[in-house]
């Protein structure tokens, strides 16, 4: 564990870099919402309205069924980042994944706020924010570790600098990725069992907002 903490401390500049890249993606995703046409905004509004009504009336899928799909989706991000970190050419892919994750979150929150104002912000706070407060740092830490390992491979194998044994860095990189995967399983449980409950708390206000918009 001491070696892991030391490795993470050494990668602080990379954390800052991927964090800024993620925030740029969030801003870009929010800007995409304002670029939608009126027809696209109407389709989006209809989809969200139907979703809120369904959640309010029928709830969400059974937790055991949805847990594994949520966990698998989140683990795929970690697994893909780990794989990309093993190859020299995977470095741009890691950066693209971090940017896309930011775009997805920015677009989701932007859609909710643009369509339903503070009602949408409230729904975003209970449905998007809680699990992402842990999920995003996990992805960024994994990305920083993958970038660091990839850069080490580039310096050693491509640029021909002093060759160092790759076994220890690879082991530390893999252990860190496994720790992040365990955290993913934990936060997936929260997203499966707790987030739907909070969503049900605020959905009636969204349904009322949908009805009001439909009457206008």
Give burial (CB, 10 Å; 0-12/13-18/19+) of 10: exposed
Give tens-digit pLDDT for 145-199. Answer: 999 888 888 777 655 555 566 778 888 889 989 999 999 999 999 888 888 888 8
Residue 145: domain span = 2-215
Which residue stretches of the chain have pLDDT < 70?
Answer: 1-5, 7-8, 59-63, 157-165, 209-216
Backbone angles phi, psi at 117, to 5 degrees: 55, -130
Question: What pTM value is reported for the model?
Answer: 0.85
Using a pLDDT cut of 70, give the percent of the chain over it: 85
User: What per-residue confidence (pLDDT) applies to 76?
Assistant: 92
Q: What is the DSSP string of 144-187?
A: HHHHHHHHHHIIIIIS------SHHHHHHHHHHHHHHHHHHHHH
Structural domains in the chain (count): 1
């Amino acid at each position: 564990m001491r070696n892991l903490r030391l490795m993470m401390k050494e990668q602080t500049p990379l954390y800052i870099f991927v964090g800024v890249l993620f925030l740029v993606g969030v801003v870009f995703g929010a800007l995409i919402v304002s670029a939608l046409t009126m027809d696209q905004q109407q389709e989006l509004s209809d989809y969200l309205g139907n979703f809120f009504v369904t959640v309010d009336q029928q709830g969400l899928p059974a937790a055991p069924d949805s847990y594994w799909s949520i966990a698998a989706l989140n683990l795929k991000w970690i697994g893909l980042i780990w794989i990309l970190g093993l190859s020299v050419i995977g470095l741009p892919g890691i950066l693209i994944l971090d940017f896309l994750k930011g775009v997805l979150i920015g677009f989701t929150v932007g859609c909710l706020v643009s369509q339903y104002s503070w009602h949408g912000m409230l729904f975003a706070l209970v449905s998007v924010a809680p699990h992402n407060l842990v999920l995003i740092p996990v992805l960024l830490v994994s990305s920083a570790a993958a970038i660091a390992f990839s850069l080490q491979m580039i310096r050693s194998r491509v640029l021909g600098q002093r060759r160092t044994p790759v076994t220890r860095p690879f082991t530390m990189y893999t252990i860190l990725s496994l720790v992040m995967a365990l955290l993913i399983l934990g936060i997936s449980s929260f997203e499966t069992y707790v987030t739907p409950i909070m969503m049900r708390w605020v959905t009636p206000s969204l349904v009322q907002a949908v009805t009001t918009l439909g009457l206008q």
